[in-house]
Copies of this chain bind each other. A is one copy, B any other.
Amino acid sequence: MRSVGICGIGHTKFGEYPGSFLTMLCQAALEAMDDAGTSGGPHHVIDQILVSTMGAGILNHQSGVASAVADALALCPAMAETVENGPASGGSALKLGYMAIASGLCDCVLVVGGDQMTRVPGPVATDFVATMLHPEAEYRLGLTLPAFVGMFTRLLMDKNGITPRDLALLAVKNHANAMLNPLAQLHKPVALSDLMDKTETRRRDRIIADPLRLYDACPISDGAAAAVLCAMDRTQALGLRTPVRIAGIASATDTHVVANRADPTRLDAVRISAQHAYQMAGLHPADVDVAELHDAFLILELAESEEAGLFPRGTSHLALRRGETAIGGRLPINPSGGLKAKGHPLGATGISQVVELVHQLRGEAGERQVPGARTGLAINFGGFGNNVVSTLVTTRKEDA
- B-contacting residues of A (Cβ < 8 Å)? 1, 20-22, 54-58, 60-64, 66-68, 70-72, 75-86, 92, 95-96, 98-100, 102-106, 131-136, 139, 250-257, 260, 268-269, 272-273, 382-383, 386-387
Instruction: Give the contacting residue for A96; candidates B61, B68, B99, B131; CB below 8 A.
Output: B99
The complex places the Cα of A77 from the Cα of B387 at a distance, in Å, of 9
- Given A58-B57, A64-B387, check contact A268 B86 (CB 8 Å): no
Contact across chains for B62 and A255 when beta carbons are under 8 A apart: no
Name the residue among A55, A83, A103, A250 with the largest chain B CB count within 10 angstroms: A103
B67 touches A256 (CB 8 A): yes
- Do A136 and B20 have beta carbons less than 8 Å apart? yes
- The residue in A62, A252, A254 that gathers the most chain B C-beta atoms within 10 A of its C-beta is A62
B253, A80: Cβ atoms under 8 Å? Answer: yes
Q: Which of A70, A75, A273 has the most CB of B within 10 A?
A: A70
Say whether B256 contacts A70, CB under 8 Å.
Answer: yes
Contact B256 A386 (CB under 8 A): no
**Assembled-state Cα–Cα distance A85/B260 (Å):** 33
Residues of B near A134 (CB, < 8 A) are 68, 71
A86: which of B60, B64, B77, B96 is its contact (CB, 8 Å)? B64
19 pairs from A and B in contact (CB 8 Å cutoff): A1-B103, A1-B104, A21-B135, A56-B57, A58-B63, A62-B135, A64-B86, A67-B382, A71-B386, A72-B256, A77-B254, A79-B253, A80-B85, A80-B251, A80-B253, A81-B92, A99-B100, A99-B103, A99-B105
What is the minimal beta-carbon distance from A137 to any residue of chain B, in angstroms?
10
Q: A54-B63, A63-B86, A81-B96 are in contact. Are A76 and B250 (CB under 8 A)?
A: no
The minimal Cβ–Cβ distance linking A114 to chain B, given in whole angstroms, is 14
A254 smallest CB distance to B (angstroms):
6
Q: Which residue of chain B is the closest to A23 with respect to CB atoms? A: B136
Q: Quick check: A387 and B67 within 8 Å, CB to CB? A: yes
B135-A105 in contact (CB<8A): no
Distance between Cα atoms of A45 and B344 in the complex (Å): 35
Given contacts A76-B252, A102-B105, 12 further A-B contacts (CB under 8 A): A1-B103, A1-B104, A58-B61, A62-B139, A68-B134, A71-B256, A71-B386, A76-B254, A78-B253, A81-B95, A82-B85, A98-B103
Q: Given A63-B58, A72-B256, is A82 in contact with B84 using a C-beta cutoff of 8 Å? A: yes
Q: Tell me whether A135 and B382 are in contact in the complex, defined as CB-CB below 8 angstroms, given that A58-B63, A252-B79, A272-B77 are known contacts.
A: no
